Structure 1
Amino acid sequence: MSQDSLTGDELVRVLATLGSPHRVRVLAALSQGRAYVSQLARDLGISRALLQVHLKKLERAGLVTAHLELSDDGKALKFYEIAPFSLHLTPAAMAAAAASLTDDALKGPE
């Protein structure tokens, strides 16, 4: 993902998602490599439930991807990794994004 391919609505969603220090910490941890939920929760010192909330928001914004793998003992582990993205915000990029905003984005989060 790059800001060139984002609509205004998508850019607003990505920027709102990045507005949380927890989600920035999750991305920083995943920049070191993929991780499964329990491992990531331990590394970050937050509960798995709270981490799941943040991971779902990051996934909806297209910043992380997830997939299930079976461990050697048969447990299903959900691994997360960063999706490739690049954001370079300029006045021109913001103007282009603003031109494509829909009424839904202008209403704000529900």
Structure 2
Amino acid sequence: MTSEELLTVLAALGHPLRLQIIAALAAERVHVSELARRVGVSRPLLYMHLERLEKAGLVEGHLELSHDGKSMKYIELKPFQLTLTVPTILAALQADRESEQPSSGERSD
């Protein structure tokens, strides 16, 4: 994990509503409208927060057809574990440095 990826996850988790969304998804996947009701927000606001969680790789959505033919989006929590320690941060910074180094076939003039 690079420092950018780590910061994306931390930013996604750094909002009380997004923590409520994760808690609401902990037991089962939920249809967007139901999720909005459970956390007490409008669907547009929910989508804004879901976008941050999806970008961080914490949740994912799937479109499905209901029995009456309506398209419904279900959101589910992806398994994740984050242990924030000094070694975690150092490893992210090391990954940054390694990705910035030219590969063995490239010339650095």
TM-score range, shorter chain: 0.7 to 0.9
For the pair shown, the structure with the greater C-alpha radius of gyration is 2
In 2, the alpha carbon distance for the partners of 1:92 and 1:56 equals: 29
8 Å contact 1:9–1:100 — kept in the other structure? no
In 2, the alpha carbon distance for the partners of 1:14 and 1:34 equals: 20
Which amino acid in 2 is paired with 1:7? T
Structure 1 match to 2:27: 32
Structure 1 match to 2:55: 60
SS of corresponding position for 2:18: helix
SS of corresponding position for 1:78: strand
> 1:99: how far off?
3.1
In 2, the alpha carbon distance for the partners of 1:76 and 1:101 equals: 41
RMSD: 1.3
> 1:101: how far off?
4.2
| Structure 2 stretches lacking a partner, 5+ long | 98-109
In 2, the alpha carbon distance for the partners of 1:75 and 1:98 equals: 46
Where has structure 1 moved over 4 Å in runs of 4 or more? Answer: none
Which amino acid in 2 is paired with 1:80? I
Is 2:86 the partner of 1:80?
Answer: no
Structure-2-length-normalised TM-score: 0.83
| Structure 1 stretches lacking a partner, 5+ long | 1-5, 103-110
Structure 1 match to 2:94: 99
Structure 2 match to 1:16: 11
Which amino acid in 2 is paired with 1:79? Y
In 2, the alpha carbon distance for the partners of 1:42 and 1:23 equals: 14
Which amino acid in 1 is paired with 2:14? G
- Percentage identity across aligned positions? 51
Structure-1-length-normalised TM-score: 0.83
In 2, the alpha carbon distance for the partners of 1:57 and 1:32 equals: 20
**RCO comparison, higher one (Cα < 8 Å, 6+):** 1
